[in-house]
Every structure is written in C-alpha cells, then in structure tokens.
Chains A and B, each alone.
Chain A
Amino acid sequence: MTDYQQIIPVLYTELAAITKATVAIDENTELTGDLKLDSLQMMELLLIIEDHFDISVPVNVLSDVKTIKDFALQIENLIRCE
C-alpha cells in the first residue's frame, strides 16, 4: 500500500525534472501559481503519475487541487480505491 509519505518524494522528483529545478518545492507549493506548469507539463506529470502508481486519474478529481499536498492526497485516495 502506497501512502502519502511515499507519494510526496515521487512528486518532488518529477516536478523538479519538469521545472528543471528552478523553483524550491515543498508540500504547500502551488502547481500553477508557483510552478507555473502549463497544460502540457501538467499532462506530462499526470502521465508519469499514472504509470508510476498504475492508476487512472479522472479529470474531475483534480478540480480542487491547488498544492502538491492536495495532489498527493488525491493520488493516495485513488490508489486506495483501485
């Protein structure tokens, strides 16, 4: 069972790769506000997350995600439901 504490480091690593480590990241970093991810980078991130955790991320569960913490909690929830 993958839990929140295991998801966070994966997100940090992948986001650092996508943003070329130009922004310092913590749990409260906003994906669009701070990291300025565009829609294609967001797709890249989703792809990595889906493949890494073998889940499918439905479009509606991300509608209230602002921070890395919000995102990790949703991923945790999806893994639990699979």
Chain B
Amino acid sequence: MNQILENEPTLLATPTKNTLPLRLADFSTLAEALDYAAQGETGANFYSGKGELTEVVPYRLLRVQAISLGKRLLSLSLKRGARIAIVAETNAYFLRFFFACQYAGMIPVALPAVINIGGHQAYVEKLRGLLKGCDASVAIASNQFYSFLTEAAEGLGLAFVGTPDAFDALPEQNSELQPSAPNETAYLQFTSGSTGFPRGVVITEQTVMANLAATVAHGISMNENDRCVSWLPFYHDMGLVGCMLALIASQRSIDYLDTREFAMRPRRWLEILTKTKASIAFCPPFGYDLCRRRIRPDDVANYDLSAWRIAGVGAEPIRYEVLDEFAKLLAPAGFDSKAFVPCYGMAETSLALSFSPLGHGVVVDWIDTDALSGELLAKPVEAYQGNSFVRCGTILPEHEVKITDDDDNELAERHIGQIKVRGPSVMSGYFRLTEQTQQVLSADGWLDTGDLGYLVDGNIVVTGRCKDMLIINGRNIWPQDIEHIVERQPELKALGASAFSVTDADNREIAIVVVQCNLSDSEERSLLEQRLHREIFEALGITCVIEFVPRQTIPRTSSGKLSRSATREGYLRRRDNENRIDTAQTSVDGNVTLMSSIN
C-alpha cells in the first residue's frame, strides 16, 4: 500500500488577495463585519513554535462555527449581555468564542493565559479576581489551563465552566440568534488595573467600529495587498483590536504566533513575515528590542522583509535607539526604517488614538533638558543634545486631544501637561466601577489618559505618566501590587513599602521597591529578600530591585500616605551618592542594589 496517499493533505494558509471588494470597517457591528469577511477567501492562520502552520480558519468557516457555538451558548439560558470569560491562548478557539458571543448577544472577556514559573497560586488568584471583576457567567479554558480555571472559579457560582470540547457537546438551541446591537457592549477589556482591583473597560459595538474604521482607513490605509503577522496576546488591546478585529473588519488574512514562542524564539516572527510576505506587524518597542538582541547577524540573509510596509510601535515609551538598531540589523533583509509607525492609544479608547504619518519612519523631537524639568516646556534643541521623544502623529479624525495643567486649563503647543482625549472611540466606562470611571471620564466626554505630554504641529508626544503605573518589558505593573506582596510578609507587617520605576544606564525602565524593615540579622534579611524576589516574580513576572531602609524613612504625603514620588527622589539621590562612591558596584545589567543603607 502506498503510504504517501494516506498522509493528510498539507495545510495551506489563507491567501493575501481576497475575492471580495475591500471594505474599510464600515460596519455597524463586529458580527456584520464577520458576515461580510465570510464571503471571501481570507482568514486566520496559526503557527507552532517550530514555525509550522498548525491550524487554518478561513473567516467563512469561523462564521459557521461561531454561529453554531452561539446557539450552544443559548442552551445555557444566560441573560443577554452575560459575560463569557475566555482564557485567551493564541489559538482558533478564542476567535470562535469571541464571535459566538457577538452572534448570541453575550459579552466576551479575554483572560490572560500566562503563568510565571512557580506562579500557580498567584495565577489562580489573578483569574479569580478577573472572574469576579466581570461577574462572569461562563468560563472557558483549554485542557492546558482548565485545572487553574476550575480552581479560580470555585464557589463563584458560574453557570458553566468547561473546555472548548465541553461547549461543543452542548445542544444547539433552536431559536434565532440576535447579534449584539450597535449600542450594546461588544467586549470587556481588562486593562492596566492592579491585580487587587481589576478594571474592565466597557467598549460598545459602535465604539469599537468607530475606532476600527478610523484605524484602517486613516491610520494605516489598509489595502488589498495587506496581510498581518502577530504574536501579541488576545488579552491585550493591541492583540485583540489591532491584530485581530482590524484585520477581520477589513477582510485581511492574519498569521499568528504564540506570545511565549516569540519571547523564546523571536526569529520565528521574522521567518513568518518572510514566508507570507506580510505587510503589517505591530508590537511594543520591547519586541523590536528582543529581536535586536537575539537575532544572529548570520541569520539576516534568510529573511526577506521587503514587503513590510507598516512596522507599528506602541504600548510603551518608545526609545528611538532601539528601533534604529533593529532597522540597521535588518536592512540587508530589505527592512526599511521608514516602515516604522509610532502610535499612541490605550484600551480605554478601544485602541489607537494616533498614528504617525505612513512612510516617514520615526520622527524624534530633541528637547532641552532643563526647560523640560524646570518650566515643563518642550524647547527644541539640536539633535542629540537633550532628551529625545518620539512623535506619535496627529489624532484620528473626529477625535480631539488637549493638554491641560492640573486645574484643567488648556495649554499651548510645546507645553507639557496631562493628555486628554475625546471622541467616538472612548469607552463607556469601567465595568460597574462608577467612582473610578468618574475619576478619568468627565461629564462632557473627556478622558484623562493618565499620560503626560505635549503637542507639536498637532503631533502627540508622550513624555511620561502621571499615573503610578510601571511598564517593564511591555508588562503594565501597578506599584500597589508590588507593595501588597511586600506588606503581607509577616516580618514587615504595617511597616510600609513604596514601589516605582527608574531608568537604568541603558535607559530601560526597571522596578524598585523601597522596603521599611526592622530586621538587623543579615541572614533573616537575605531570606526575606529571597522570598520577596520569588513572590514578586510569581505574581507579576518581573524582577525588582529591593532596597531595605530603616522604618520611617519613606516620606509621607500631606494626607499621611506613603509618597511614591518622594521615595523615588530619595532613592535616586542615594543611588547617585553610591555611584559617586563606587561606580564599580554597578552590575553588568545596570541594576544597582543599595543594601548598605540600612546599616
């Protein structure tokens, strides 16, 4: 018998060219967008860590599967608008469940699918907080994550918790599906909230469609030859909205690589871009940095990146040096540095707010350092003379941006203040958190982004954050979460800690926690330090410089709370002093530990 004939047919990725006329996200709902895309030939393709194509889901098939699954969801007799929580691994079932919710009038919520080493308990607690935070009725995870999910859901009274197979075994309800209407919620997106207090951003169908239409028509000028490669997770706004919904709403094919596989082998991303001749890929600066550090110069000849016309950059502060080096390394593979498109946005505005003009690459603003810190003024200086910031383009049509001082007075161009935005992409609010919504969203629709920056020729330039969030290797970390881990240690109860970030010698953001501690025994202290490192990693996936200081070292604000900004200043002062005393103490990666200050 001929063995070859028995082999399964080789998988073929969906084509780049479609048979359908291109429509630029001019639909009133996501379900309508998929209805249209399903008439064509394009779809989503999933690649393994070995770079092999493992699953192909044409949008035509996705629609059929999503409708069938939507009818099965109805058999659970859920209320319209019930939250369906999905542990969002990068595979096809996420798309099926997401769109099943669209067709059945339910609200999908993507949950993170990342467990840090040793982080079993921390992950379960995180999932539990998110399930509670969105008041989920149903939760889904693959076999890989199912046991964690059931642990997290215990006692929460969910109507159904299962693997995708368990949902496929439910009976299809025989009634007509009523897809989510334009004024109904399209999805909840957990964002940048601390683990203790997760915040779900509520985005309606008309909100996300407004953002998608402005993004694909104006921001990236999507055309018939476009195709996207993404390794961004679906539980992040850039992965969900930018690298899934935007492509489906403009009927383009997508090639997916798992986030963890990218982090392990970044070259796979470039290999897939080469193989599929994709023209669009977005990622945070951290991703370009990882490629720059890990791609071997010998490998560059294997890539052909000449079709890559939009290399989007966003989601964390952009350092032009990293992008420069990435472009230099990959220029022999046909990568054009003019393909870089710095952009600005956040989950609270669906995703994007601004894109820098296509085909111009990175435009750097050089700013006088003294005027920046003293007068809060972005005074231009010669290149390489002061601080550098990247221009993120002008705000999308039908949206407004303003820079204000602390009293909400609007500031002129080049004056640094709070960045506020308004327009059809802005969220309805945080799910069931009225007070927190009011803190960021004014009655007349202005969203306080929490970022600091200025405008120049209408371009948004982000210079920092007034919120306390840390961004470490692309992860948003809230200082409260670090402080909570420190303060729950039995030796430290009620002594207080203060977490913040500083930049290291390479201008990279690193996390610091200053810990008030009474232990004088150095062995006890080193055991405590070890435990803190472990627990911080397990919960947050980062390493953190830990500085022990005597009690009552951390300054307080006028209202009596520990002041992170004053603690940070004190820390930097001590670091400078120590550097002066002995510059050799700085370790190779630029981290400085200040264990001496307790004595």
Q: What is A's interface to B at a CB cutoff of 8 Å?
A: 20, 30-34, 36-40, 42-43, 46-47, 50, 56, 58-60, 62-66
Contacts and interface: CB of A to CB of B under 8 A. Distances in A.
Contact of A63 (B123, B265, B533, B542): B123
A24 to B, nearest CB: 13
B217 to A, nearest CB: 37
B118 interface: yes
Contact of A30 (B120, B530, B543): B530
Interface of B: 49, 113-120, 123, 144-145, 147-148, 260, 263-265, 290, 473, 530-531, 533-534, 537-538, 541-543, 588
The 5 A-B residue pairs with the shortest CB-CB distance in the complex, in nearest-first order: A33-B534, A63-B120, A32-B537, A33-B530, A38-B543
B588 A20 contact: yes
Nearest to B540: A39
Contacts of B543: 32, 36-38
Contact of A32 (B118, B264, B588): B118
Contacts of B148: 60, 63
Nearest to A44: B264
- Residue with the greatest number of chain A CB neighbours at <10 A, chosen from B117, B533, B543: B117
Contacts of B114: 59
Nearest to A35: B533
28 contacts: A20-B588, A30-B530, A32-B116, A32-B533, A34-B530, A38-B537, A39-B116, A39-B473, A39-B542, A40-B290, A40-B473, A42-B117, A47-B264, A56-B49, A59-B113, A59-B115, A59-B260, A60-B115, A60-B144, A60-B145, A60-B148, A62-B115, A62-B117, A63-B118, A63-B120, A63-B148, A64-B120, A66-B534
Nearest to B538: A32
Contacts, number: 73
Nearest to A47: B264
A58 B533 contact: no
Nearest to B260: A59
Given A30-B530, A32-B537, A38-B543, A59 B144 contact: yes
Contacts of A62: 115, 117-118
A42 B533 CA distance: 14
A63 B144 CA distance: 11
Nearest to A60: B144
B111 to A, nearest CB: 14
A34 B534 CA distance: 8
Contact of B144 (A38, A40, A58, A65): A58
Contacts of B264: 43, 46-47, 50
B15 to A, nearest CB: 30
Given A36-B543, A37-B543, A38-B542, A63 B119 contact: yes
A32 B117 contact: yes
Contacts of B538: 32
A56 B52 CA distance: 14
B533 A36 contact: yes
B299 to A, nearest CB: 15
A60 to B, nearest CB: 5
Nearest to B266: A43
B502 to A, nearest CB: 16
B91 to A, nearest CB: 13
Contacts of A60: 115, 144-145, 147-148
Contacts of A42: 116-117
A65 B117 CA distance: 6
A40 B543 CA distance: 10
B443 to A, nearest CB: 41
A39 to B, nearest CB: 5
A50 B261 CA distance: 11
Nearest to A48: B264
Contacts of B145: 60
Nearest to A42: B117
A28 to B, nearest CB: 12
A62 B116 CA distance: 8
Contacts of B530: 30, 33-34
A50 B260 CA distance: 13
A32 B533 CA distance: 6
Given A37-B537, A43-B264, A46-B264, 5 more contacts: A32-B538, A33-B530, A47-B264, A63-B115, A65-B118
A3 B108 CA distance: 44
Contacts of A46: 264
A72 to B, nearest CB: 13
B534 A40 contact: no
A61 B307 CA distance: 39
A36 B544 CA distance: 9
Nearest to B531: A33
